Structure 1
Amino acid sequence: MPISPDQGSTGGGDTVTFTGTGLANATAVLFGAKSATITANTPTSVSAVLPSGAGVVDATVRTPGGTSNPVSFYYVPPPVIVDVSQSSGPVAGGATITLTGRGLDTTESVTFGATDVTPTVVSDSELTVVSPAHAAGSVSLVVTAQGGAATAADPFAFVAPPTATGFSPLTGLPAGGTLVGITGTNLATTTGVTFGGVPATFAVLSDTRVAAIAPVHALGAVTVALTTTGGSATAPGTFLYLIG
């Protein structure tokens, strides 16, 4: 006797349907020793609300004519999110996020706020998902699997593209080492700063200010650019490497 679905949450609540013959006037549906609430019944099918449970149990239907042969039903524990590879991404979407945890192999959807995204399941402990386009701001990140739902400990932030409005000082030595203050907007998630394409050591001071140490570079004028999880921006003007 087929049962659909043949697995569900340990917390119960799913609707399960048995199909076969001689099922009219069902008096009970049992998952192991627990009774399920019957919601629909015809001579060829019985639908019931799954009770809570764990592991693999025998599911049976009782009618005035007897008890059906048992079929195996698998209780799936709820998913657990242990880590999210990054906690922010661009408002345009497109960031690939890796989630690790347990019970992820039956994941059906990942929700960013109210937006559902179809994930790529790698294993029971890992899945990846591409963030959708979304207005700037923080939203909950929820994984829904056959065993239930799990919410990441930290919200996911959609970050607007940065702007770089200026920097100071405007000059430095080819040997590097000059401390440069860069101003702009949406700089809190800065992941990199470059001088003429050369990466610089930096520190995020606020959403409007980043401090960077000019790297070693040949003499001449270079652009100062930064990258955040929301995108990239180049400051107006140039930084001049010269001999002091």
Structure 2
Amino acid sequence: MPISPNQGSTAGGTAVTITGTNLGGATAVRFGAKLATITANTPTSVSVTSPSGAGTVGVTVTTPGGTSNPLSYFYIGAPFKSSLSPVSGVTAGGNTVTLTGSGLATATSVSFGANAATPTVLNDGVLTVVVPAGAAAGSVGVTVTTAGGVSNGLSYTYVDAPTLGTPDPASGPASGGTAVTIPGTGLTTTESVTFDGVLAPFNILSDTALVAVTPPGTAGAVDVVVTTSGGSATATDAFTYLAGPGI
């Protein structure tokens, strides 16, 4: 006589179906000592709503013909989330986030705001999930659903990919050292700036501007790349290194 599912929240409320024979006219279904609410009954099945409980209990069905042998049912506590890493990413989604806590072994979904994704459970304390696309930039709540219930309390921030304008000045000596203002959008979370692939020191002025100091380079036009937590943007051939004079 199987039971499905054989686990659920300690708070109760799980829809459970017990199948077998001679189950018609069921008068009681007990989870341990507690009565469940019968929602449907046929000669081969009984559907119930589980009562609250804890640990492992025996489930029995009582009919006019007697009481069945017990089936094991496992009560699972609600999950607990302690950390999320990273806590931000591109609005388009697609990056992998690691979530730690406890009671995560039965996780079936992780929601970022209104958008859900299916996690990969590593163990009871760790899962990973690929972040779904967000509706817009901004912070959303992160919710984990398990057989034990739902947990929230952490947040994730969607960040738009940056855009770049024309650097000012747009040229400087190949020896480097030029302070260049780079306009754009989504620059608040800038993580790196490169000129022709070489990292440059920078200072964020606002979400729409930053200043970078050019590293030494080779004469000619080079790409400027700004990388933020929302992604990368490239200004192609946007800065020109000038060769020094020779005599």
Range of TM-score over shorter length: 0.7 to 0.9
> What is the CA deviation profile of residues 89-122 of structure 1, one whole-angstrom value per residue up to 9, with x for unaligned ones?
2233321222222122211112222222222222
Q: What's 1:99 paired with?
A: 99
Q: What's 1:186 paired with?
A: 186
Q: What's 2:125 paired with?
A: 125
Superposed counterparts of 1:24-103, under 5 Å? 24-103=24-103
Identity of aligned residues (%): 54
Deviates more, 1:12-21 or 1:79-88: 79-88
- Cα RMSD over matched residues? 2.6
Deviates more, 1:53-62 or 1:226-235: 226-235
Q: Please say if residues 224 and 239 of structure 1, whose CA atoms lie closer than 8 Å, have aligned partners that are also in contact.
A: no
> What is the CA deviation profile of residues 46-73 of structure 1, one whole-angstrom value per residue up to 9, with x for unaligned ones?
1111111221111112223222111111
Distance change >3 Å, CA 239–CA 88, structure 1 → 2: farther
Superposed counterparts of 1:143-158, under 5 Å? 143-157=144-158
Offset at 1:75?
0.9
Offset at 1:219?
5.3
The 2-side partners of 1:27 and 1:242 are apart by 93
> What is the CA deviation profile of residues 191-225 of structure 1, one whole-angstrom value per residue up to 9, with x for unaligned ones?
2221221223444443223344544x245454332
Give the counterpart letter for 2:118 in structure 1: T
Q: What's 1:231 paired with?
A: 231
The number of aligned residues is 241
Q: What's 2:7 paired with?
A: 7
The 2-side partners of 1:229 and 1:180 are apart by 22
The 2-side partners of 1:103 and 1:74 are apart by 13
Q: Please say if residues 218 and 241 of structure 1, whose CA atoms lie closer than 8 Å, have aligned partners that are also in contact.
A: no
Offset at 1:152?
4.5
The 1-side partners of 2:211 and 2:153 are apart by 31
Query: How does the TM-score come out when normalised to structure 2?
Result: 0.84
Query: How does the TM-score come out when normalised to structure 1?
Result: 0.85
Distance change >3 Å, CA 65–CA 239, structure 1 → 2: same
